[in-house]
Amino acid sequence: MKTNLIQTMGIVVLATSISAFAQSGDAKRDDPATLACNTAQQNDSNQGTSDPAESNVSMKLDQLQKDVQHLEATENERQEEEQKTKQERKKQLRQDEKEWEHSLLGIYGG
């Protein structure tokens, strides 16, 4: 009885997820973001047009590109800072090890 219930629930979940994926696939074709990308690409190829909606989309696209570049620059700076911090830690650990070895040599002789 338990096995049948589990199998039935599995089939129900699978059936509902398949229909959800089918619906999302159809929605992606008519998605406003996809249409906006297509419009922006057309705007790049048709520089002579002066449609306010297209220029608004291209301005938003330019702003997004600037934001991405800013985020990439910030990420690079963060990675460089993290690398410097790691190098400083390694340097400090080496210095501590040298001091420890020196102290041991002073105590036990060498």
Count helices and strands in the chain by DSSP H and E runs:
3, 0
3-state secondary structure of 78: helix
- 72: containing domain: 53-110
- Tell whether 34 is covered by a domain: no
For residue 3, being part of any structural domain is answered with no
* Domain-located, residue 86: yes
**Arithmetic mean of pLDDT, 50-66:** 86
pLDDT tens digits, 12-57: 776 677 766 665 555 555 555 555 555 555 555 555 556 777 888 8
pLDDT in tens, 85-107: 999 999 999 999 999 999 888 88
Q: Alpha-carbon distance 35 to 29, whole Å?
A: 8
Contact 50, 35 (CB under 8 A): no
- Taking the CA atoms of 94, 99, 100 and 105 in sequence, report the sign of the dihedral they define: positive
Is residue 77 scored above 80 in pLDDT?
yes
In a domain, 18, yes or no: no
* Res 6: pLDDT: 78
